[in-house]
Structure 1
Amino acid sequence: MSDLGLTHIALPVCQVDRSIAFYAKYARMQVIHRRTDRTIQSDVVWLSDLTRPFIIVLIEMPQVDAPLLPIAHLGVGIESREAVDRLCQDARLDGVPTEGPNDGDATVGYWAFLQDPDGHTLEISYGQEVGFAVRQATAEKQPPDLHVSSPEVLLVRQAADAWMTGDADAFADLFLPDGEFIVPGKRWVGRAAIRKAAADFFAAGTDVKIDIRRVIVEADRACVEWHWQETECAANKRGSADDAIAIDFRDGKISRWREYIDTQSCIETEV
């Protein structure tokens, strides 16, 4: 399969092995390809942290005339603030020029600049929101039908169908035997309890309509936003609300379902 999107950045370096050691220690990267380019008579190395199809290409040159200087930099996410602190401490002990750590806002996170052996700038950080922003933009861009192959999204759709058809058994069967179903002020554990809760609801309300607005899946978790409408038989009123639902999955079933219901914007109308 051909590569798509941004795949690499290339840096000139004077001693490629010295740069390999720097990026291995401070950016957790490793060599995945190495060769001598006969057209320029230089060693070429590809470095990757193996988290995505993106690499740093190191090209050995006699000198580096234009290093990557702040504010230009390479950015690497680190697992914790403490890890950022340790790497900065190690860098100073190694004589690596270091700026920080600095405590930025929720978008920038906790970060520091390190200078590699050729003067290129490496940022190490914790708490930036790049991954979240990309996932959110991807979910907003793609229509729900593009997610139809996801087992997690299919379970969400089946849950919505069960509510709209009034099928308490179908809804309960989506859960593990010890699954949890939580709404504001109430919690049910186990399929039997969940089935009864759904059946009790269906006995009091009819004509449920659900519009799934967004489903964001990450590993074995999902966040769902849907708009809910129902008709209350006794009061003869239609109510609506926006729900945010956090769902955990295990073994192809729902292990935990927790709803956060927007009651402030709920609208009730006479039927």
Structure 2
Amino acid sequence: MSPTLTHIALHVSDLEASKAFYQAFCGLEVCHERHDGGKTILWLAEKGREHEFILVLIPGGPGRPQSEKDFSHQGYALESREAVDAIAEKAEREGCLLWPPRQEAYPVGYYCGLRDPDGNAVEFSYGQPLGPGAEG
């Protein structure tokens, strides 16, 4: 059997701020809450995908400000260019827009980037070869 990617865990400095960001921008919902040694650990997932892939938020992290040349990121696919623009506009208003919307050659597509409360880059795209908007 081949391994299956099931989750990514992030150590976050402010659990509530990170939870709010991933709910507001990524549409993730808390699907499990675990208490371990006085800490609350949250599992977040897209509705209906709670058994496929989750984002784990672990409190007590140091933050992760990325340099301009560090393109590490999480990627979320959206259904249209307009949806990418809407996320970018919301992020601009809330002060967390990292990369304004731009079009790149296939397979990158149309995308923008945000910074989560810890400084992690989060990309929203349309037209990549996976997820909503995938080219056939």
User: What is the TM-score normalised by the length of structure 1?
Assistant: 0.44
Alignment partner, residue 94 of structure 2: 94
Structure 1 residues 1-271: aligned runs within 5 Å: 5-38=4-37, 41-50=38-47, 52=49, 53-61=52-60, 63-64=62-63, 66-67=64-65, 70-131=70-131
Aligned partner letter, 1:33: H
How many angstroms apart in 1 are the aligned matches of 2:32 and 2:111? Answer: 29
For the aligned residue pairs, the C-alpha RMSD in angstroms reads: 2.1
Deviations 1:117-146 (A, max 9, x none): 1101100101110259xxx9xxxxxxxxxx
User: What is the TM-score normalised by the length of structure 2?
Assistant: 0.83
Consecutive unaligned residues of structure 1, counting only runs of 5 or more, are 137-271
Consecutive unaligned residues of structure 2, counting only runs of 5 or more, are none
How many angstroms apart in 2 are the aligned matches of 1:97 and 1:8? Answer: 25
- Greater helix percent: which structure? 1
Identity, % of aligned pairs? 39
Alignment partner, residue 180 of structure 1: none
How far off is 1:107 after superposition?
A: 1.0
How many angstroms apart in 1 are the aligned matches of 2:6 and 2:92? Answer: 31
How far off is 1:51 after superposition?
A: 5.4
Change (3 A) 1:6 1:62: closer
How many angstroms apart in 1 are the aligned matches of 2:20 and 2:126? Answer: 22
The size of the alignment, in residue pairs, is: 127
- Greater strand percent: which structure? 1
How many angstroms apart in 1 are the aligned matches of 2:98 and 2:119? Answer: 11
Deviations 1:174-233 (A, max 9, x none): xxxxxxxxxxxxxxxxxxxxxxxxxxxxxxxxxxxxxxxxxxxxxxxxxxxxxxxxxxxx
How many angstroms apart in 1 are the aligned matches of 2:65 and 2:48? Answer: 26
Structure 2 residue matching 1:129: 3-state secondary structure: coil
How many angstroms apart in 2 are the aligned matches of 1:67 and 1:118? Answer: 7
How many angstroms apart in 2 are the aligned matches of 1:30 and 1:68? Answer: 26
Change (3 A) 1:47 1:105: same
Change (3 A) 1:51 1:100: farther
